A and B are shown apart, each in its own frame.
Chain A
Amino acid sequence: MKPAAFEYVRPDNLQGALAALRDHPDGKVLAGGQSLIPLMNFRLSRPQALVDISHLTELTGISVVDGAVEVGALVRHQQLHEHEEVRRLLPVLSEAAGEVGHWAIRNRGTLGGSLTHADPAAELPAAAVALRATVVLANADGQREVPAESFFLGFLTTDIQPDEILVAVRFPVPPADVRYGFAEFARRPGDFALAGAFVEMGGDASGSITWFGVSGGPERRELDFPDDAQARKAAFAELAAEFDTGEDAVYRRKLAVTVAEQAYQKAREGRR
Chain B
Amino acid sequence: METTKAREVVQITLQVNGEAHTVEVEPRMLLADVIRHKLGLTGTHVGCEQGVCGACTVLVDGEPQRSCLMFAVQAQGHDITTIEGVTPESGLSPLQAAFQKHHGLQCGFCTPAMILTSEALLRKHPNPDEAQVREALSGNLCRCTGYQFIVDSVLDAAAQASKKEGQ
Which residues on A are within 8 Å of B, measured CB to CB? 1-12, 16, 20, 30, 33-34, 37-38, 40-42, 48, 50, 52, 54-55, 78, 101-105, 107-108, 188-190
Contact of B63 among A4, A48, A107 (CB under 8 A): A107
Q: Within the assembled complex, what's the spacing in Å between the Cα atoms of A128 and B6? A: 36
Which residues on B are within 8 Å of A, measured CB to CB? 1-7, 10, 26-30, 33, 49-51, 54, 57, 60, 63-66, 68-71, 73-74, 77, 117, 135-136, 138-139
**Secondary structure call for the A interface:** loop
Tell whether, in the assembled complex, residue B49 and residue A7 are in contact, meaning their CB atoms are under 8 Å apart.
no
CB distance from A219 to the nearest CB of B (A): 27
Residue of B nearest to A42 (CB): B50
Tell whether, in the assembled complex, residue A38 and residue B1 are in contact, meaning their CB atoms are under 8 Å apart.
no
Tell whether, in the assembled complex, residue A7 and residue B69 are in contact, meaning their CB atoms are under 8 Å apart.
no
Tell whether, in the assembled complex, residue B54 and residue A102 are in contact, meaning their CB atoms are under 8 Å apart.
yes
- Given contacts A7-B4, A104-B66, list 14 more A-B pairs with CB under 8 A: A6-B6, A8-B27, A8-B71, A8-B73, A9-B3, A10-B2, A11-B1, A37-B68, A37-B71, A41-B49, A41-B50, A104-B139, A108-B70, A190-B139
Tell whether, in the assembled complex, residue A52 and residue B65 are in contact, meaning their CB atoms are under 8 Å apart.
no
Contact of A103 among B2, B50, B64, B77 (CB under 8 A): B64
CB distance from A3 to the nearest CB of B (A): 4
Tell whether, in the assembled complex, residue A104 and residue B2 are in contact, meaning their CB atoms are under 8 Å apart.
no
Q: Within the assembled complex, what's the spacing in Å between the Cα atoms of A105 and B135? A: 13
Tell whether, in the assembled complex, residue A6 and residue B28 are in contact, meaning their CB atoms are under 8 Å apart.
yes
Contacts A38-B49, A104-B117, A104-B139 given: A8-B4 contact, CB under 8 Å?
A: yes
Contacts A10-B2, A189-B138 given: A5-B28 contact, CB under 8 Å?
A: yes
CB distance from B122 to the nearest CB of A (A): 13
Tell whether, in the assembled complex, residue A102 and residue B63 are in contact, meaning their CB atoms are under 8 Å apart.
no
Q: Which residues of chain B have C-beta atoms less than 8 A from A9's C-beta?
A: 1-4
Q: Which residues of chain B have C-beta atoms less than 8 A from A48's C-beta?
A: 6
